[in-house]
Amino acid sequence: MSAELASLGVRARAAVKTISTSSAAARDQALLVAADLLAARAGTLLDANQADRRAAAAVGMAPAALDRLTLDEARIEAMAEGLRRVAALADPVGEVVDGWVRPNGLRVQRVRVPLGVVGVIYENRPNVTSDAAGLCLKSGNVAFLRGSSSALRSNQAVVAVLREALDKAGLPADAVLLVEDTSHATALEFMRLRGVIDCLVPRGGRELIELLLEHATVPYVLDGDGNCHVYVDAAADLDMALDIVVNAKTQRPGVCNAAESLLIHRAVAAEFLPRAAEALAGVELRGDAATLALVPGATPATEADYATEFLGLCLSVAVVDDLDAAIAHIERYGSGHTEAIVTQDLAAAQRFVREVDAAAVVVNASTRFADGGELGLGAEVGISTQKLHARGPMGLRELTCAKWVVWGEGQTRT
Amino acid sequence: MSAELASLGVRARAAVKTISTSSAAARDQALLVAADLLAARAGTLLDANQADRRAAAAVGMAPAALDRLTLDEARIEAMAEGLRRVAALADPVGEVVDGWVRPNGLRVQRVRVPLGVVGVIYENRPNVTSDAAGLCLKSGNVAFLRGSSSALRSNQAVVAVLREALDKAGLPADAVLLVEDTSHATALEFMRLRGVIDCLVPRGGRELIELLLEHATVPYVLDGDGNCHVYVDAAADLDMALDIVVNAKTQRPGVCNAAESLLIHRAVAAEFLPRAAEALAGVELRGDAATLALVPGATPATEADYATEFLGLCLSVAVVDDLDAAIAHIERYGSGHTEAIVTQDLAAAQRFVREVDAAAVVVNASTRFADGGELGLGAEVGISTQKLHARGPMGLRELTCAKWVVWGEGQTRT
């Protein structure tokens, strides 16, 4: 194994006890100090970032990737604000999840505690460094970070600020650690640090996820695709449906909770689809035969289109015979992220909620609400499309686990 | 991939929607019918089991393994009783975990739903077939079972009963499926059925766990070793400590929540250890120099002894200078399962509870209480030593996940 990784692993474990049992006040203080330091060190950060960008441009990085790599004053201020916002949230650590007394007098509690070491493996956006570290620290975890080689200098600068802030708050600087060997081999080793990493959070595309599935031996939480549907029922308020479809598709098309597919009940298709096509001007519609008959501008949808997360101004459309057909379509093509129904029919809403297997089911609202901030979690670690540990928007609680605490008075088992 | 496995996977997914949205009454009915049928079909089960045992004996299966493979009338009745007990538990499905209203009026709930398809991979005890299937069905999941080749005929007979009971209760028989190709290659394929298996529960030894860590791509919950400690503090009630140590070590030495190591504060070692040695007559004690000086019958402990889950009448012993040393010893050698302190000192108890990183920490009671039944979960799926999804004793709830349900009135995101 890489000597650096082995040594960082030892340091990460050594920092766990102090950070996991530290006071919320000290951790919040570290976050606030870090926020101020980010602003104070903006010049250093921008220099480091410029060096990263120059090197990236020299090897021909694409403009979109270069943009994600870029830091400027506004983005640094946003990072600082993010840390301040996280500091202001309620502490998830120590929450008594539930508890009861057993017939033999044992008092049983389940208490929320930090996971320990949270590994984060991510791509070239340097703001993820402070975002992820902030969430880990807030929840009492050590942040063990592995960013991309293209952002190494920027990440080093951000991590230096975070470590300085920890030190100033009387906490171990090693509660934030950055892997500086960014080779592919080390990434694989990172995913296999069993006994060091308690939870690995990947922040990246499909390639990273595939790598993880194939090679990781540490526990992880996956943030997968969002092929989200809006189903407009026969009993929908069509004005409401129009607002919801337009919002779900166009308010921010590049994110995982944007709608990618519109299903419309046959009974209202003729009335709704032409209006929707007009309201969705600028969005490419790919539809089935019934859609094409109603929307002259639409192009034929393929099987692949229905399974695609476009992440852009494109929407697949299908006319369905009834609620059953809508649910079956979602079961076939959905990715288990977020599914919405628009209807005034209570029975239809209830069946949709019960029968659609997704992290979030939404009645009469935009799919775009499937977001930690919007649902009231305060901060978002990601949106899990797996079912274990965390499903759907993940907040600070999802960076904790429950420890059983049993208080007795000498009880033994018979 | 094995054609059988592929076909079973399709059938498992097809059964998910019906079983996951079925009424608790129907699922309980299936469990009760299955319990009666197990008794009624005892002759068939015993014949199948005899054929398994004859084949196993012919290839030289060890007596202990042969015993685990064996069914008799009493064990069949115990399986039936197990199903009846599970049927009587509260339904975990549909429980509203929490919920709130957002400032924009969105009503948000997290509702407990079945995981979908639960894979269980296990060794040669045929009673696991009905135990595991019972817990899966109770929680609205499809049970996708892969037992060992040595128990195949027994497992087939048990599964036939369960499937008949499902059918009689008006539920899909395919809610219980058994993989009949028990080759090693198929076991590996089973661990990689992503998109089919929502959660894999291994019930077996270290070899199975290692195989899973290396090859599984489906989500899983691990049930690892229990190297559990009892720390007797300077402020312990020594009579209570004696009861607890004896109980934790000897009440059932072969299980994961039995104590494997005794830590004793130096201040009370001279008084406690000779009494403990006497009360633990028949238990081999392996101790450090201080222990050997106080307990003539003890043998020297090696590093490996302190790290060993003996699962038998052997106990490692160490005299420690203080609470810090006890916590450090547990941090070094513990497996994160269950750790107990005996003390009347509130501050010591609170520090132990806070600083010891284990699934269960116990104050003044036996480690043997770290058990789903004893802690009040009704049934136990296993004891997780991982931190994600489930930590410590797992009940029916741990076979579910939370689905976000969002009720709106036309809200869109700005």
Asked if B363 reaches chain A (Cβ–Cβ under 8 Å), the answer is yes
pLDDT at A223 (0 to 100): 84
Number of Cβ within 10 Å of residue B380's Cβ equals: 18
Strands B107-114 and B400-411, by their bridges, are antiparallel
B29, containing H or E segment: helix B24-40
Asked if A18 reaches chain B (Cβ–Cβ under 8 Å), the answer is no
Residue among B194, B366, B391 minimizing CB distance to A402? B391
Q: Which residue of A has its CA nearest to B243?
A: A412
What one-letter code names the amino acid at B193? L
pLDDT at A380 (0 to 100): 85
Number of Cβ within 10 Å of residue B274's Cβ equals: 13
Residues 232-271 of B with CB under 8 A from A: 237, 240, 243-244, 246-248, 251
pLDDT at A343 (0 to 100): 98
For residue A175, pLDDT over 90 is answered with yes
Residue among B199, B247, B370 minimizing CB distance to A388? B199
pLDDT at B225 (0 to 100): 87
Whether A356 contacts A327, CB under 8 Å: yes
| Tokens coding A155 | 């990440």
Average pLDDT over residues A219-225: 88
Q: What is the CA radius of gyration of chain A?
A: 24
pLDDT at B378 (0 to 100): 86
Give exposure, B59-87, as e/b (b: 16+ Cβ within 10 Å).
Answer: eebeeeebebbbbeeebbeebbebbeebb
Within a 13 Å sphere around the CA of B331, how many CA atoms are in the beta-carbon half? 17
| Tokens coding B61 | 């299966």
For residue A58, pLDDT over 90 is answered with yes
Mean pLDDT (chain A, rounded): 96
Number of Cβ within 10 Å of residue A181's Cβ equals: 17
Residues of B in contact with A106 (CB under 8 A): 365, 369, 374-375
Residues 6 or more apart whose Cβ sits within 8 Å of residue A27: A19, A91, A137, A138, A140, A169, A171
Asked if B167 reaches chain A (Cβ–Cβ under 8 Å), the answer is no
Least confident segment among A193-197, B137-141, B201-205, B271-275: B201-205
pLDDT at A381 (0 to 100): 85
Question: Phi and psi of A201, rounded to 5°?
Answer: -115, 110
Residue owning tokens 């609620």: A323
Average pLDDT over residues A38-61: 97
Whether A87 contacts A28, CB under 8 Å: yes
Helix crossing, A73-87 with A127-138: angle to 10°? 10
Average pLDDT over residues B84-97: 96
Domains of chain B in sequence order: 3-223 (3.40.605.10), 228-369 (3.40.309.10)
pLDDT per residue as tens digits for the range A101-145 = 999 999 999 999 999 999 999 988 999 999 999 999 999 999 999
Region of B322 (left: φ > 0; alpha: ψ -120 to 50; beta: rest) is beta
Least confident segment among A115-124, A205-214, A263-272, B271-280: A205-214
CB contact under 8 A, B404 and A243: no
pLDDT at A348 (0 to 100): 98
Q: Which residue of B has its CA nearest to A258?
A: B413
d(CA A22, CA A1): 31
For residue B381, pLDDT over 90 is answered with no
Asked if B50 reaches chain A (Cβ–Cβ under 8 Å), the answer is no
Q: Does B214 or B158 have the greater pLDDT score? A: B158
Least confident segment among A345-354, B60-69, B355-364: B60-69
Enumerate helices (H) and strands (E) in chain A, giving the number of each.
Answer: 16, 16
pLDDT at A205 (0 to 100): 82
A-B contacts (CB, under 8 Å): 206
Q: Which residue of B has its CA nearest to A328?
A: B17
Least confident segment among A380-384, B230-234, B369-373: A380-384
Asked if B353 reaches chain A (Cβ–Cβ under 8 Å), the answer is yes
CB contact under 8 A, B403 and A392: yes
ipTM: 0.94
Confidence of residue B326 (pLDDT cuts 50, 70, 90): very high
pLDDT at A409 (0 to 100): 98
pLDDT at B204 (0 to 100): 83
Asked if B188 reaches chain A (Cβ–Cβ under 8 Å), the answer is no
Q: Which residue of A has its CA nearest to B197?
A: A387
Confidence of residue B289 (pLDDT cuts 50, 70, 90): very high
d(CA A92, CA A112): 7
pLDDT at B265 (0 to 100): 98
d(CA B39, CA B42): 5
Tell me, rounded to whole angstroms, the distance of Cα A378 from its chain centroid. Answer: 13
Alpha-helix runs per DSSP H in A280-368: 289-294, 303-306, 323-333, 346-355
pLDDT at A225 (0 to 100): 87
Average pLDDT over residues B312-333: 97
pLDDT per residue as tens digits for the range A147-157 = 999 999 999 99
Least confident segment among B164-168, B304-308, B380-384, B407-411: B380-384
CB contact under 8 A, B375 and A108: yes
d(CA A258, CA A379): 19
Q: What percent of chain A has pLDDT over 70?
A: 100
For residue B382, pLDDT over 90 is answered with no
Tell me, rounded to whole angstroms, the distance of Cα A57 from its chain centroid. Answer: 28
Among B301, B282, B304, residue whose Cα is nearest residue B292: B301
Within a 13 Å sphere around the CA of A359, how many CA atoms are in the beta-carbon half? 32
d(CA B229, CA B220): 27
CB contact under 8 A, B404 and A411: no
CB contact under 8 A, A368 and B194: no
Residue among A355, A407, A414 minimizing CB distance to B363? A407
| Tokens coding B168 | 């009689």
Residue among A243, A376, A392 minimizing CB distance to B102? A376
pLDDT at B317 (0 to 100): 98
Average pLDDT over residues A53-60: 96
For residue A294, pLDDT over 90 is answered with yes
Give exposure, B109-131, as e/b (b: 16+ Cβ within 10 Å).
Answer: bbbbbbbbbbbbbbbbbbbbbbb
pLDDT per residue as tens digits for the range B353-367 = 999 999 999 999 999
